[in-house]
Structure 1
Amino acid sequence: MALKKTDLYSSLWKSCDELRGGMDAGQYKDYILTLLFVKYVSDKAKADPDSLIDVPPGGSFDDMVAAKGDKEIGDRFNKIISRLAEANDLRNVIDLADFNDEEKLGKGKEIQDRLSKLVTIFSDLDFRGSRAEGDDLLGDAYEYLMRHFATESGKSKGQFYTPAEVSRVLAKVVGITKDTRQDQTVYDPTCGSGSLLLKVAAETSRGITIYGQEKDNATWALSKMNMILHGNEDAEILKGDTITSPQFTNGSALQTFDFAVANPPFSIKSWSNGLEQEYGRFEYGRPPEKNGDYAFLLHILKSLKSTGKAAVILPHGVLFRGNAEADIRRRLLKQGFIKGIIGLPANLFYGTGIPACIIVLDKENAVGRTGVFMIDASKGFIKDGNKNRLRSQDIHKIVDVFTRQTTIDRYSRMVPLAEIADVKNDYNLNIPRYIDSSEPEDIQDLHAHLHGGIPNRDLDALSGYWDAFPQLRDQLFRLNRPGYSDLTIDVSQVQQAILDSPEFQKFTQEARELTTEWFAAHRKRLEGIDETTRPNDLIAVLGDDLLARFKRVPLLDEYDVYEQLMTYWHDVMHDDVFMVMNDGWLEAAKPRKIVVDKDRKLSETPDLVVGTGRSAVKYKMDLVPPDLIVTRYFAKEQAEVDELVMAAEESSRAVEEYVEEHAVEGGLLAEAMDEEKINKALASARLKKARHEGTDADEVAALSRLIDLYNAEAVAKKAAKEAEAALHLASLKRYGDLTERDVQALVLDAKWCATITVRVDSVADSLTLALVERIRDLGRRYTETASAIEANLLAISARLADHFAVLGVG
């Protein structure tokens, strides 16, 4: 069975649990990533004799497994890793974690057990069978760990990792494409663990030449490991402070590159400590002594070739702060170096909660540049724990809009340099000066409150809906007087009226048909999934086509539709594709028995159980869930099971109702009541005693009736259970009769297409609910006029006066 992404994640985080408590995330990440590295290169060396990593005798993961249970396990681990490091010139890279550190890992039996458990978890992973060379399974797992490490480490350690979603945006907007040549260069002067550079490399078809610098020793080692794990063994990652000791130089000049990407530390105060040589970096102005943001930006600008391009993450302050930074900003704008600015949501990064922006530099077209393209993407994100995260739709929209320089109201526009330079703005680049992304104010209409009617301007604001449903407005509203309209139906009937509208039904049907047509166009491609498939390329083709098809649909936001596909891809489809790639359709569809450990604990939740008690066999169906088999082949049997289950539930309700009626104080079953709850055994015992004592005949009859109900319940439950067991067994047997075409039909049509269609339907449904809610709000807001309220108050006052008069109150 192929190693799935979700299984890999689960195993890796389980390994973290073994270490958590003895040290913080900033420390135990070194142990986990070192083991991941050793396991991966050991497996790859077994599968590929030409592997670039030499795994020497005594330096493999198998040697670690052999050390399990040894009293000297920590020392043995250190020696194994040391042999591997020496064989590959990786000293001080993969051997930084001390596996014999008693302070962190415990003493004696504690360290022995902890490391033995740890190596057992990793031994269950098998990277040999992975054929997904176009899909970064290990890279995604590495990112998964880094994200969690950054989350747990907090502000002090979070800077070593740029969120993958932000990295993808930088990689795409910097100008790298599938056609970028392998001999072109990319540089990150503050590369951290290397994730940003690797995202750039992933955008190319043939790779790119990578250069990076990182000053923190442990993080530099992470980056070196990361490059090897991603097949970029030749990447040149050097150590040192980029500003005071740049490592990529040609004598007194900086080495230059085709592309640069960076997420420098924000607003660092000590940037100039120890600075001796400037390398001409500050020709456009010297950054303030207590803020290094522009020091990094100017370093990157100087490190670009004459046609070079860069994308840099910086805090929003660089856009508007004054004094020295204002002078630098003015000169950079006059030179035309700033191509674009993208405002990001707050709380994306692990080292800080403040909002940041991406500044895109482009030397190649600087001379003729007449404006700066700006995007305010601050509203596009999803909450993820205590952080915000860009969704797939947010990433795609940013990249599409930036690449095409598309103007979108309240989101993006090309801002002329003349506007930026005018007296009012004076080269201030604060995005809200140029893009107002705030939602339009919901204005209360005083005239409507006084005289009734819904303002037509509020209805006109819903023009997107009326464009999609041209006749619906006239069906729902009629003119009250110039500028105002009334609902033709009661507010409570609005939702049903819209759902019943032929235009709405046509709209949803067309959306459904568009999804079906899209899937049909790619079905052949999906049928052909095999070991040569590149999952990332596959989903890119599917996603881009879905976006293109829905772009022309009025009202629906194509990016909302795209997000439905991408969420399902990440949750389910990716693992499915990966299994088919590695095992083929038939093999991937086979049920597998779930492992039960010595304590009878399941390693995962079963999809189907055959048998009962200790003889029960539990199965997992990764690719084809049992409900798909049942729906396709056993619909009649499932209906019979459903009927029997309903009958069993009905019989249980009959017992509950009878007990509730009679097992009360003074009731016929009062004597049979137990302190906790009456049951069949108690009822039988009481019946036997009642008959022996010659108790009230009504109680005997009631007890007899209750036992009959219990017996009927038992029979009904048994029938349902037996039918369900028979259905499970028949379903299990059916898996063995499936052909490849059967599996493809089940997965492609009944699973993937059906699920995506339902998800796209939900987008249309949510739009409808939004329209309904808005109309209801407007209808309720202006239903009661001021004069009606006043009349109502007068009537109430008159009634009160009458009451007071009766009471003799003057």
Structure 2
Amino acid sequence: MALRKSDLYGALWRSCDELRGGMDASQYKDYVLTLLFVKYVTDKATSDRTSLVDVPAGGSFDDMVACKGDREIGDKINRIVGRLAEANGLGRVVDLADFNDEDRLGKGKEMQDRLSKLVTIIADLDFRDNRAEGDDLLGDAYEYLMRHFARESGKSKGQFYTPAEVSRVLARLVGIGPGTRQDHTVYDPTCGSGSLLLKVAAEAPRGLTIYGQEKDNATWALARMNMILHGYEDCDIRKGDTIASPQFTQGAQLQTFDFAVANPPFSVKSWSNGLEHEYGRFDVGRPPDKNGDYAFLLHILTSLKSNGKAAVIMPHGVLFRGNAEAGIRKELLRRGYITGVIGLPANLFYGTGIPACMVVLDKEHAQERTSIFMIDASQGFIKDGSKNRLRSQDIHRIVDVFTRRTEVERYSRVVPLYEIADPKNDYNLNIARYITSSDPEDTQDLHAHLRGGIPDRDLDALGGFWGAFTSLRTTLFKELRPGYSDLAVDVTEVQQTILDSAEFQKFTTDVRSRVDDWFEVHRPHLHALTGDAVPKDVIARIGDDLLARFTGALLLDKYDVYEQLMTYWQKVMRDDVFLVVNDGWFEAAQPRKVIEGNERKRFETPDLIVGSGRSVTRYKLDLIPSALVVSRYFEKEQIEVDTLNVAAVEAARAVEEYIDEYATEDGLLAEAMDDGTMTKALASARLRRAQQEGADPEEVKVLHRLIELYNADALAKKAVKEAQAALDLATLTKYGDLTMSEIQQLVVDDKWSVAIRDGIMAEVNALILALVGRIQQLGERYAQTVGMLGAEWERCEARVARHLADMGIER
């Protein structure tokens, strides 16, 4: 049975990280990722005779497993990796990490144990039978580890990885999609570990031809391995400094490509070191000696075919810096090469925290270009640990708005070149000059503070709500005087008034109907998921349809609705679909035993525990939570357990209240207490002594009653435990009796449909809470006029004066 992706990757990262010790993540990654690569090609060669990677005798992961516990394990792994590298011409690619390095891995037994455990962790992964998403599962695990290593490596060492969300945006902005041919070429002159190129390739269903160059030797090796892991063994990734020594040339010119994407290092000061040939890159101007941003941009531009397109990550400074860069920018705009600029949130990248932008280049029809399309996407992100991250809705919004050139207030705008060329702007592309992204200032109205009332202009600003609820404004407000209104209901009644309105009820019904109609269309396809399904295609189909159904909906932002689906997909549904595609509905639905001591599963918390003591068995319920099975098939039994739980709580409370009543310092239970603590054993012991000593009959009576309450509490707890155990056993048994249609109903209807609908309806609730909060804020802001405050001041002053007079103090 396959593990959920999230569980697999999470356990893999935690296990590897635990064995890292004090080693820097940027160094440790080379060991883990090399082992993962050897594991991949070994499994690939076993299951696929067409594999382009030859795994020689003595050069497989199985040979590494045989070295576990060996005192010379480090040296032997080096030799195994060396054989694999030699057989495939991968020298200085897969054999960079020294597994016999005592300074990093420890000496003697420490190295032996660390490497043995690491091999065990990787050996536990088996991807030969994986059907979901082709062979990309191990490649995805590789990328997952790289992302975490980048996060842990710090600013100076995390530049080898471009966040996947940013990569997807770049890929779509350059126009790669279903129409892209396999012979189309894509180029990344600063490809790092290749993650950006792979995300671009993933957007082309038929694939495309990949070219890349990377300066750092270890990172170049990562890129080569990463390409092989993702099935791009025939890609062309070369090593060297792109500016000083470009590897893709044709005589005195650069080789050209259909598409280019890049996330170059920001503001490199030594970009011109070793530069001998310019290859026509700087015809529009030479970048400043101490800043290489435009050197990379011009290199990419020169590497494009006459109809080529590129999207490049750049620091914001390229948009507005002066001197030599201003001249280059002016010339690029005059020639029409820049088609778009997108401002991104700060702190997205692992190598830097400064704000960045995407510059989109397009040589096709450049001379006819009369405008630049700008987007300010700087506010669209979510916090993810110490970094910011683009959400699914942010990605979709950027791509949709850019490709359709849709103008959205405070977000996007088509800016004419004549406006950019105007002397007041002088070819400055600072997005803030052309798009005001901040919300209008919430101004205070002095007339309202003096005379009361809510300014109508503040209510007019809520026009979207009044457009959806046409009569609600007249229900909530009444005219006070021209230009000002007053609440027609008490400020505490605003929320309930909105919730009770017929228009709000109709609005919620419409939203729910849109969701239900959408899900009804896709229900048959979800029920029909088989091993041939591709999860990313499943979510793309249902996600795009959901966006379409909420296009034009009142009040709700379709991208907020889409984010609810995508959040649930990423947290739950993606794993579910992966399991169904890999194992089939029935197998995926079965409880999975949590095996104690297993390296891969030892981080798991069981979802269902059956039995006790030595006969206890713990289960993970990967696909169907027990609550769904209980709700549908054991409602009566659950009610019984709940009833017994209530009785048990009451019995425990009776004990506590009785002790509180009689365990005071001079109370009848004081003699039974031990350091302020009371137990049944203490009460029983004191009762025996009290009876022997002929103590106060009232104390004996109280002790008897307390023991009765303790017994009742124990019986109540026992009843709950027995009923819950019976319910758990019945639930476990039911999993094996479920039919295919029942499993599909539990997952698709009871789990997915309900969760997604609840998430979208939460957006409706958030809207209403925002409206209520704003109305209450305005109502409270102008509830007291200056005159009322002055009168209150005079009353308080008079009251103070009276109190002082009563005390014989004259003011």
Match of 1:424 in 2: 424
On the 8 A contact 1:594/1:603 being kept in 2, the answer is no
Pairing 1:426-505 to 2, within 5 Å after superposition: 426-505=426-505
CA distance in 1, matches of 2:657, 2:500: 40
Task: Indicate the larger mover: 58-67 or 394-403.
Answer: 58-67
Match of 2:721 in 1: 721
TM-score, normalisation: structure 2: 0.98
Pairing 1:149-548 to 2, within 5 Å after superposition: 149-548=149-548
Match of 1:30 in 2: 30
- Post-superposition CA distance 1:716-771 (Å, at most 9, x none): 11111111111111111111111110100000000000110111111111111111
CA distance in 2, matches of 1:202, 1:423: 44
Equivalent position amino acid for 2:248 in 1 = F
Deviation at 1:334, TM superposition (A): 0.3
Match of 1:793 in 2: 793
CA distance in 2, matches of 1:365, 1:686: 97
Match of 1:758 in 2: 758
Equivalent position amino acid for 2:483 in 1 = G
Helix, strand or coil: the match of 1:480? strand
The percent identity for this pair of structures is: 70
Equivalent position amino acid for 1:487 in 2 = L
Equivalent position amino acid for 1:238 in 2 = R
Deviation at 1:135, TM superposition (A): 8.1
On the 8 A contact 2:133/2:535 being kept in 1, the answer is no
**What is the RMSD computed on CA atoms of the aligned residues?**
1.3
CA distance in 2, matches of 1:243, 1:3: 45
Change (3 A) 1:734 1:598: closer
Match of 1:40 in 2: 40
Helix, strand or coil: the match of 2:100? coil
CA distance in 1, matches of 2:806, 2:77: 97
Equivalent position amino acid for 2:492 in 1 = S
Equivalent position amino acid for 1:568 in 2 = Y
CA distance in 2, matches of 1:480, 1:681: 73
Pairing 1:115-154 to 2, within 5 Å after superposition: 115-133=115-133, 136-154=136-154
On the 8 A contact 1:22/1:105 being kept in 2, the answer is no
On the 8 A contact 1:596/1:603 being kept in 2, the answer is no
Helix, strand or coil: the match of 2:238? strand
Change (3 A) 1:676 1:84: farther
- Which sections of structure 1, spanning at least 5 residues, go unmatched? none
On the 8 A contact 1:264/1:296 being kept in 2, the answer is yes
CA distance in 2, matches of 1:799, 1:676: 50
Helix, strand or coil: the match of 1:232? coil
Deviation at 1:285, TM superposition (A): 0.3
- Post-superposition CA distance 1:610-667 (Å, at most 9, x none): 1111211111111111111100100011001100011111111111111122112111
CA distance in 2, matches of 1:219, 1:139: 16
Helix, strand or coil: the match of 1:441? coil
Match of 2:618 in 1: 618
- Post-superposition CA distance 1:107-162 (Å, at most 9, x none): 11111111111111112111111112358433432232122111111111111111
CA distance in 1, matches of 2:745, 2:794: 71
On the 8 A contact 1:3/1:125 being kept in 2, the answer is no
Equivalent position amino acid for 2:124 in 1 = D
CA distance in 1, matches of 2:59, 2:402: 49
- Post-superposition CA distance 1:172-197 (Å, at most 9, x none): 10111111000010000000000111
Helix, strand or coil: the match of 1:160? coil
Match of 1:674 in 2: 674
Deviation at 1:676, TM superposition (A): 5.1
Deviation at 1:603, TM superposition (A): 4.5
On the 8 A contact 2:65/2:123 being kept in 1, the answer is yes
- Post-superposition CA distance 1:540-588 (Å, at most 9, x none): 1111111111122110011111111111111111111111111111111
Match of 1:744 in 2: 744
Pairing 1:689-728 to 2, within 5 Å after superposition: 689-728=689-728
On the 8 A contact 1:410/1:438 being kept in 2, the answer is yes
Helix, strand or coil: the match of 2:571? helix
CA distance in 1, matches of 2:332, 2:139: 37
Equivalent position amino acid for 1:107 in 2 = K
Match of 1:637 in 2: 637
On the 8 A contact 1:16/1:28 being kept in 2, the answer is no
Change (3 A) 1:598 1:514: closer
On the 8 A contact 1:3/1:127 being kept in 2, the answer is no
CA distance in 2, matches of 1:664, 1:40: 70
Deviation at 1:503, TM superposition (A): 1.6
TM-score, normalisation: structure 1: 0.98
Change (3 A) 1:528 1:40: same
Deviation at 1:796, TM superposition (A): 2.0
Equivalent position amino acid for 2:113 in 1 = D
Helix, strand or coil: the match of 1:299? helix
Deviation at 1:466, TM superposition (A): 1.0
Equivalent position amino acid for 1:628 in 2 = L
On the 8 A contact 1:3/1:126 being kept in 2, the answer is no
Q: Any runs of at least 4 consecutive aligned residues in structure 1 with deviations exceeding 6 A, and if so which?
A: none
CA distance in 2, matches of 1:640, 1:754: 25
Deviation at 1:83, TM superposition (A): 1.4
Deviation at 1:364, TM superposition (A): 0.4
Match of 1:84 in 2: 84
On the 8 A contact 2:136/2:229 being kept in 1, the answer is no
The number of aligned residues is 809
Task: Indicate the larger mover: 775-784 or 18-27.
Answer: 18-27
